[in-house]
Amino acid sequence: MKFAVSRAGTTQITLHGGSDTTACNEATATLADTLESLAAEGPITDWEIEDADVYEHPTAPFDPYTIALEFTVTVTVEADDADEATEVGATAIDEALDTAGVDSVSYTSSPAASTA
């Protein structure tokens, strides 16, 4: 049986930006490009970036911003039941984000499975 497994989390991206707004926009675009490539390659079937906020402002004129981004990703897995799907889906999400180089991921929800 096919299940869609979703999980919400946060990550941080450090980059140089001209202002809070441009830094948040650039970080959002960077993460969106990464998630879109994962969706195109197959492991991620759906994704959404929910929010981007400045986590750490620059301490000097040319220091980078650190932006905290909230996101949700979904994978589709084959499993016998929802418990197995949750376990397999969580592993697939972890591996996809790790392979794509999405660092400092903290999950804000447990994986949730629903029939696809």
Question: How confident is the model over 46-92, as pLDDT tens digits?
Answer: 999 999 999 999 988 889 999 999 999 999 999 999 999 999 999 99
Specify the 3-state DSSP secondary structure of 67.
Answer: strand
Q: What is the pLDDT of residue 83?
A: 96
According to the model, what pLDDT value does residue 13 have?
Answer: 96
Among 83, 91, 67, smallest CA distance to 19 is for 67
What six digits make up the tokens of 26? 């650039």
- Res 18: pLDDT: 82
Average pLDDT over residues 4-12: 98
16 pLDDT above the threshold of 90: no
Q: What is the pLDDT of residue 60?
A: 87
